[in-house]
Amino acid sequence: MYHLTNILDATPTVNTAGGYLPIIIQLVFAVGFVASTLLISNFLGPKRISKEKLEPFASGIPSHGEARQPLAIKYFLVAILFVLFDVEVIFFYPYAVNFKSLGWTGFGEVLLFVAFFLIGFFYIVKKKALIWED
Amino acid sequence: MNAIILSAVLGVVMMFSSVLVSNQKAYKGIALVGLLIILIANINETYNGPIFEINTYNMLAFDGFSLFFNTIAIVCTGVYFILTSKQIEKVGGHTAEYFTLIFFVLCGATILSAYNNLLMLFIGIEILTIPLYILTGSKKKDLKSNEAALKYFLMGSFSTGLMLMGIALIYGGTGTFALEKIIPAAASAQGAPAVTAQTLSFLEVGGMLLVTFSLAFKVSAAPFHFWLPDVYYGAPSVFTSFMASVVKAAAFVAFLKLFIARAAGTSVDVSKIIGVDWKMIVAILIICTLLVGNISAVRQQNVKRMLAYSSIAQAGFMLFAIFSLNEMAKEGILLYAVAYSLATIGIFAILSRMKDYTFAGYNGLAKSNPALAFANTVFLLSLAGIPLTAGFFAKYYMLASVMQTGHYMWLVIVGVLFAAVSADYYFRVIQSMYFKNSESENEGQLEENPSNIFKITVVALAIVIILVGVFPNSVLYWLYN
């Protein structure tokens, strides 16, 4: 058994295979924990199979029909456009963190970024992508 | 820099012309004028420096090579617009958007020719390919087009994931994204101890392998070529033409830039001490690609599919540049970009007007349209690498660059043998055009009679290809001036 302090001593600052030993041990534990809990609960847990238990659970509402039905493309369009503008926010976080050090150049570049997004927004409005009724 | 910014801006302009300009015929004009502006701006940058002074923090470097490649890409796109814009209008109801996406692809190509940083490589590849996924699926009602788009998207994004993983590993191994500053050779030049098997970072070698595989996927080198025949066959012919010409050349320039930067005493040379021989890896890629491309192309009955496989075979020839990594390889890849792109654009311009895409569909074209048949013959001969056409000197430079490295005569012989095989399937098209008669005499082989302007431009393109084949230095002259 490898002693913990030895592992830390053996960890060099450069990237060699030895440096990854703690990660491998961590991996073994993570996979082992998941596998063992699943297996143990599978063997020890009681099994009462009934119709109600095998039905898919959807917030207590009885399910009807299949999930693979044709869906109006409008829902998808609105959803994907929402995601686009939602993802935009992610890029503001790194900017917010470095707000002061980036200064006015950074501000200008963020304005440019927002301007491009607004151009896109103007385009989808003009293309009538957001009009719900046909 | 000019080309990157202007092509992105023109993409936006085209996008808005779709809502502001109602005349369908005007889009072609706007696109051509825009392309002319980009071309002038790029040539101006070559001689007088950029208009837009932007600090890129050394992530982009514009040298003569990259600016000259931009010029080639822009000119080829212009030829493509002139020859096929009529077919672009026929694809669907979104003509302006197709032009928009092509401008964005051009933006990606210009980034790829100038990148100096692995992050820009990634961004360039993404900008290059994402519009292509959309263009591939632009025939919305066509099942083949849909299938091709989905296949291309799934496999393309997977290979992009591989590239990202590789870039992350290279960063882990070297601590930098920059192309030229990568240790260990730079360190040993500054007095640090030489690299040994113990101090060589395995992360860097592994990362470089992943990036290589991903780029091999993008340029469709076997065994990473499986997406290509279906995608090229399923996509509308006009867009296949663009994918097979400018896009492929741009991906190869990116590939070559990466390897030249890494070969200068860094990972490509140093990896040998742990048994990773990059010359051998690329040689295996070349032979696989030539074998798969040529042998499969021989067996095709459909000209479009044959051209897809022939594009794999041509990729095998362009890979010689990545094998030899010298000045001649750089010149050769530019010459190849010109010869291959122009010939492919010409062939597809004629193909997209054919009723029947099989070999039999070309029967008797020489009788009904001698001008088109002549031009098509020149394009096919150029792809086959027959002397007096541009394709000959492109192939010649590739093989000569391998000869310069020494010791690799066998690879040159393999290349020549496969070039001979490629004549088989190119000549079959010529054979159908000249020596076989059409079954239905009256109907003709084309969807509609081509206009005289189209005929003149196609023949002019063929003459340009012959001129480049006779005076290849007329192209390379601009690289050094």
Please tell me which residue of chain B has the smallest CA distance to A122: B16
ipTM: 0.77
Task: Tell me, yes or no, if the pTM score tops 0.80.
Answer: yes
Q: Does B172 touch chain A (CB under 8 A)?
A: yes
Tens of pLDDT, residue by residue over B360-417, are 888 888 888 889 999 999 999 999 999 889 999 999 999 999 999 888 899 999 999 9
- Closest to A91 in 3D by CA, of A54, A58, A52, A117: A117
Q: Check whether A46 has a pLDDT greater than 50.
A: yes
Given a contact cutoff of 8 angstroms between Cβ atoms, the answer to whether B340 and B373 are in contact is no
Partner residue facing A123 (CB), from B15, B199, B203: B15
- Integer angstrom CA distances of residue A46 from A34, A42, A49, B100: 20, 8, 10, 61
Smallest Cα distance from B281 to chain A, Å: 25
Q: Measured between CA atoms, how close is A126 to chain B, in angstroms?
A: 7
Q: Closest to A15 (Cβ–Cβ): which among B15, B18, B203?
A: B203
Nearest 10 degrees: Cα torsion B342, B346, B347, B350: 170
Q: Give B106's pLDDT tier (boundaries 50, 70, 90).
A: very high
Q: Does the structure show a pLDDT above 90 at A133? A: no
Question: Given a cut of 60, is residue A6 above it in pLDDT?
Answer: no
Which pLDDT value is given to residue A1?
43
Q: How many CB pairs under 8 A join A and B?
A: 18
Contact present, B469 and B387 (Cβ < 8 Å): yes
Task: Give the pLDDT score at B98.
Answer: 94
Structure tokens at B86: 């009529």
What the block records as the tokens of A40 is 């143990």
Which pLDDT value is given to residue A8? 45
Provide the pLDDT for residue B272. 72
Residues A44-57 have a mean pLDDT of 79
* pLDDT at B242 (0 to 100): 94
Task: Say what the pLDDT of residue B186 is.
Answer: 45
Report pLDDT for B152.
95
Could you report the per-residue pLDDT of B37-54, keeping only the tens digit for each? Answer: 999 999 988 888 888 778
pLDDT tens string B143-194:
999 999 999 999 999 999 999 999 999 888 878 888 876 555 445 555 555 6
pLDDT tier, A131 (very low <50, low <70, confident <90, very high otherwise): confident
B248-258 residue pLDDT tens? 999 999 999 99
User: What does the pLDDT average to over A95-111?
Assistant: 89
Residues of chain B neighbouring A14 (CB-CB closer than 8 A): 199, 201
Give B199's contacts in chain A (Cβ within 8 Å): 14
Residue B18 Cα, gap to closest chain A Cα (Å): 9
Looking at residue B194, what is its pLDDT? 61
Q: From residue A33, give the alpha-carbon distance in Å to each of A3, A41, B306.
A: 21, 12, 54
To the nearest whole percent, how much of chain B has pLDDT over 90?
A: 60
Distance from CA of A13 to the nearest CA of B (A): 12
pLDDT exceeds cutoff 60 at A9: no
pLDDT for the residue numbered B341: 94
CA atoms of A58 and A35, how far apart (whole Å): 27
Confidence category of residue B472, pLDDT binned at 50, 70, 90: confident
Average pLDDT of chain B?
88
Beta bridge partners of B302: B358
Tell me what the mean pLDDT of segment A52-80 comes to. Answer: 79
| Chain B CB within 8 Å of residue A51 CB | no
Task: Give the pLDDT confidence of B53-105 residue by residue, as tens digits.
Answer: 788 888 898 888 999 999 999 999 999 999 998 888 888 888 899 999 999 99
- Residues B207-245: tens digit of each pLDDT: 889 999 999 999 999 889 999 999 999 999 999 999 999
Mean pLDDT on B108-136: 94
Binary contact (A14, B199; C-beta < 8 A): yes
Nearest neighbour of A126 by CB, restricted to B12, B19, B199: B19
Least confident of A13-17, A114-118, B318-322: A13-17
By CB neighbour count within 10 A (0-12 exposed, 13-18 middle, 19+ buried), where does B247 fall? Answer: buried
pLDDT of residue B448: 79
The rounded percent of chain B whose pLDDT value lies above 70 is: 93
Distance separating alpha carbons of residues A19 and A126, to the nearest angstrom:
56
A34: burial class by Cβ within 10 Å (0-12, 13-18, 19+)? exposed
Task: Out of A18-27, B226-235, B259-268, pick the least confident.
Answer: B259-268
Does B199 lie at the interface with A, CB-CB under 8 angstroms?
Answer: yes
